[in-house]
Amino acid sequence: MTAPATAPHDHSQPYATIADSYDRLLDWSSRNWDESPRTRVGDFLDTLWAGRDEPVRTVIELCCGTGAVLEELAERGYTVAGLDRSAPMLEQARARLGPAVELVRSELPDIPAGAAYDALISVGTGLNYLASPDDFARTLESMARTVRPGGPVVFDLLSVRMLTVDAVEGFAQRPIVEFDDSSFFWTYEHNAAEGYCDLTYTRFQRCPGAADELFTRTRELHRIHLRERELVERLARQAGFTDIAVYDNYAQRPASEETQYEVWTMVAPS
């Protein structure tokens, strides 16, 4: 293999260079780390919302990424909209969902929604990227304004165990993910003092049409913040949410100390 051509490293915008591979990485995570596939997410939401006095018809997703969950919900009959800060991810979502679905580029805690939705979700641990408890609190307050009074809110977070125990072991065992046209090498560092973890993706992308095996290298830094359950619940109550519960990875069972993906459900203030 020849020496790779080097593209500028991007440490400021997660998913700036890997949006086109995100769905494949998500499929890999579902197979290897039990990240919930979108069908499991859809089943969980259908069950949660079934039988409500006020039916759920319109749903907005924060940190919607490539729109895979929005597509799943649209196929189940919901009217959907999405918000994300990454333009490349929204481009993938637009190609998947078509021109009729509202997709907005914005960064939390700002949620520039023009109307209240029946329900709000955030799937894929996007809220772990919020840099401080204050940002998290302000995002919860924005959520409460975006969903109709008494509407359901669902979001997921990587648990503290996942970020401090399981991920360390997982990345040590599987530091390389290989596809036909590219390979990912990732490193993982936990900063206990500051309460965050740095996940660095280095991608080697095969150059199309090259006579030999020439690759382009890009790199992204994803800074993921730990959020203790006690803090999340306290901030949610401060924002006026009620009926707060935590489930284990989109299954109908409460979260435990072994839970990796915490699924938070709550009801917006009336």
Q: pLDDT tens for residues 37-83?
A: 999 999 999 999 998 999 999 999 999 999 999 999 999 999 999 99
Give the CB-side neighbour count of residue 138, counting CA atoms within 13 A: 11
* pTM value surpassing 0.85: yes
Q: How many domains does the chain have?
A: 2
- Give how far Cα 82 sits from Cα of 8, 18, 21, 102, 123, Å: 29, 19, 20, 6, 11
Give the three-class secondary structure for 73.
Answer: helix
pLDDT at position 193 is 93
pLDDT at position 210 is 61
* Residues in a beta bridge with 153: 120, 266
pLDDT at position 6 is 41
Q: Compute the chain's Rg from CA coordinates.
A: 19
Is residue 59 assigned to a domain?
yes
Residues 157 and 125: beta-carbon distance below 8 Å: yes
Structural tokens at position 182: 């590219």
Give the CB-side neighbour count of residue 240, counting CA atoms within 13 A: 16
Q: Are residues 106 and 240 in the same domain?
A: yes
Q: Provide the residue range defining the domain that includes 75.
A: 24-158+227-267
Hey, how many other C-beta atoms are within 10 angstroms of the C-beta on 263?
23
Q: Are residues 165 and 146 in the same domain?
A: no
